[in-house]
Amino acid sequence: MIKVVNVSKVFRTGKKEIRALNDVSFELEKGKIGALVGHNGAGKTTLIKILSTLIIPDSGDAFVNGYSVTKQEKEVRRNIGTMMVSERAFYFRLSGLDNLVFFGIIQGLSRSEAKRRAEELLELVGLSEWKNVQYMKYSTGMQRKLALARALILDPPVILLDEPTLGMDVVSSRDFRSLIKIISKEKTILLTSHNMKEVEDLADKIIVLKRGNVIAQGSKEEILSRLGKVKVIVAKNVPKGLDKYVIGYNNGTFILRVPQDENVEGEVLREEKPTLEDVFVYLMGEEMDSTRNRSGRGGWWRRWGE
Ligand SMILES: Nc1ncnc2c1ncn2[C@@H]1O[C@H](COP(=O)(O)OP(=O)(O)OP(=O)(O)O)[C@@H](O)[C@H]1O
């Protein structure tokens, strides 16, 4: 179980203050998969780091299996397995098996226990055939699987995964998602992702962060209910503020996926139920434009069309 209670975190660099998390609260029950979503810099990794006891919140507290991240760090560490996005801890010249045995031993297992557990986990993540191959020869997908195996070494009840399928090809990421589902039956899993299809496929609960604030949370159905239908429109012009809904551009005409009640002049091709991606774009508001168009000259399609 994970419980986050009024967590805030401000980073200070020189005179600049960045409010990475602002009064964030949510709960995730045992056996559930939670997904933290939000634009770049929304605060997802900061929250994962707080839950991993890598950084301390300025205020509020979070609980992992009932243990406080601010007061019971050791207990929290025994209850979590983490897989961070920038994974540099593995030894490149050691095999997958030797890497896992090493991490088992430094986490307190005897050599024989570590070997037994490593073999078991390599089987689980589908790397048995590659166990004696050096880590540096592993593909991105294999490296990520090994990182997941390492997170599971002590069989912790809570698993934290920061962008677990980043950089993986379609088949590997689908494979990895199946693995996450298998593991989740016994555990609480919190992951971050920018891939809305992945979130749709995996998450029992979705927590949407925007500039460090939780702006929506709930089941997939609850999040989807934030938006009525969407319409796909071919239009000659994009009304101000609706740039984020453009999905295509061709010879001076735009294709938009917009919430049904938005007023856009054009030909409506079809109306559809919204996807999570639609709701995400809708909820993110001007954030999408500011992250996509740093030039301030409008979307890629505008620049392309100029
Ligand atoms: N150690 C740090 N020092 C200063 N600022 C930081 C630090 N870590 C994070 N930040 C800032 O805090 C904000 C939240 O960052 P965070 O990495 O949590 O976002 P994120 O949602 O994980 O983003 P992304 O999707 O790009 O990984 C950002 O503005 C980031 O620049």
DSSP 229-241: -EEEEEES---TT
Identify whether the C-beta of residue 183 lies closer than 8 Å to the C-beta of residue 33: no
Are 124 and 56 in contact, with CB atoms under 8 Å apart? no
Asked whether residue 11 is assigned to any structural domain, the reply reads yes
One domain for residues 102 and 133: yes
With respect to residue 302, please indicate whether it lies within any of the assigned structural domains: no
Atom of ligand 1 at shortest distance to CA of 21?
14
Within-domain flag for 19 = yes
Which residues have any ligand 1 atom within 6 Å of their CB? Answer: 11, 13, 18, 20, 38, 40-46
CA of 43 to the centre of ligand 1 (A): 6
User: Residue 254 burial (CB < 10 Å; 0-12/13-18/19+)?
Assistant: buried
CA separation for the pair 46, 160 (Å, rounded): 12
pLDDT score for 303: 56
Q: How far is the CA of 304 from the centre of ligand 1 (A)?
A: 31
Residue nearest to atom 24 of ligand 1 (CA): 40
In this structure, is residue 35 part of a structural domain?
yes
Contact assessment for residue 189 and residue 110, using Cβ atoms and an 8 Å cutoff = no
Closest CA to 284 of 165, 198, 194, 190: 194
Domain assignment of residue 303, yes or no: no
Are 115 and 85 in a shared domain?
yes
State the distance from the centre of ligand 1 to the C-alpha of 18, rounded, in angstroms.
9
Our CA dihedral for 209, 190, 122, 130, rounded to 10 degrees, sits at 0
pTM above 0.90, yes or no: no
Residue 247 shares a structural domain with residue 119: no
Protein residue closest via CA to atom 19 of ligand 1: 41
For ligand 1, pick from 8, 10, 11 the residue to mutate: most ligand atoms within 8 Å of CB: 11
- Residue finishing a domain among 172, 202, 218: 218
CA of 44 to the centre of ligand 1 (A): 8
Question: Are both 145 and 272 inside the same structural domain?
Answer: no
Residue with tokens 């964030």: 24
- Domain of 123: which CATH number? 3.40.50.300
The protein residue with its alpha carbon nearest to ligand 1, atom 5, reads 11
Is residue 99 in a domain?
yes
Full 3-state SS string of 156-187: CCEEEEECCCCCCCHHHHHHHHHHHHHHHCCC
pLDDT at site 290: 47
Q: What is the spatial order of strands in the sheet that 67-68 belongs to?
A: 16-28, 2-13, 59-64, 67-68
pLDDT average per 10 residues of sequence, the chain (306 residues): 97 91 96 94 94 96 97 95 82 95 94 95 92 93 90 94 86 87 91 93 95 94 92 91 89 91 91 93 68 50 55
Give 20 Cα–ligand 1 centroid separation in angstroms. Answer: 6
Residue 123 sits in the same domain as residue 151: yes
Name 81's bridge partners.
159
Q: Is residue 41 exposed (0-12), middle (13-18) or buried (19+ Cβ within 10 Å)?
A: middle
Backbone angles phi, psi at 113, to 5 degrees: -65, -45
Last residue of a domain, one of 197, 218, 239: 218
Supply the range of the domain harboring residue 263: 225-294
| Chosen domain end from 218, 240, 272 | 218
pLDDT tens for 155-199 read 999 999 999 888 788 888 888 899 899 888 889 999 999 999 999
Same domain, yes or no: 130 and 15: yes
Q: Are residues 190 and 274 in the same domain?
A: no
User: What pLDDT score was predicted for residue 205?
Assistant: 97
Residue bearing the CA closest to ligand 1, atom 27: 40
Q: Which atom of ligand 1 is nearest to the CA of 212?
A: 14
* Co-location of 168 and 199 in the same domain: yes
Q: Give the model's pLDDT for residue 13.
A: 87
Which residue's C-alpha comes closest to atom 20 of ligand 1? 41
pLDDT of residue 300: 58
Number of domains in the chain: 2
Same domain, 73 and 213: yes
The radius of gyration of the chain's CA atoms, rounded to the nearest angstrom, is 22
Q: Whose CA is nearest to atom 29 of ligand 1?
A: 41
- Atom index in ligand 1 nearest the CA of residue 42 equals 21
Q: Is residue 305 part of a domain?
A: no
pLDDT at 140: 85
Same domain? 176 vs 114: yes
Structural domain includes residue 259:
yes
- For position 304, what pLDDT does the model report? 56
Residue with tokens 């073999």: 119
260 and 188 fall within a common domain: no
CA of 19 to the centre of ligand 1 (A): 9
Q: Strand 205-210 relative to strand 33-37: parallel, antiparallel, unpaired? A: parallel
Question: φ and ψ at 41, to 5 degrees?
Answer: 80, 10
- Phi then psi for residue 183, to 5 deg, are -65, -35
- 190 near 28, Cβ under 8 Å? yes
Is the separation of the CB atoms in 197 and 265 below 8 Å? no
Indicate whether this complex's ipTM tops 0.85.
yes
Show Cβ contacts of residue 22 under 8 Å, excluding neighbours closer than 6 positions. 8, 211, 212, 213
CA of 249 to the centre of ligand 1 (A): 32
| Residue 231 and residue 89 share a domain | no
Q: Among 18, 48, 290, name the best residue to mutate to test ligand 1's pocket (greatest count of ligand atoms within 8 A of Cβ).
A: 18
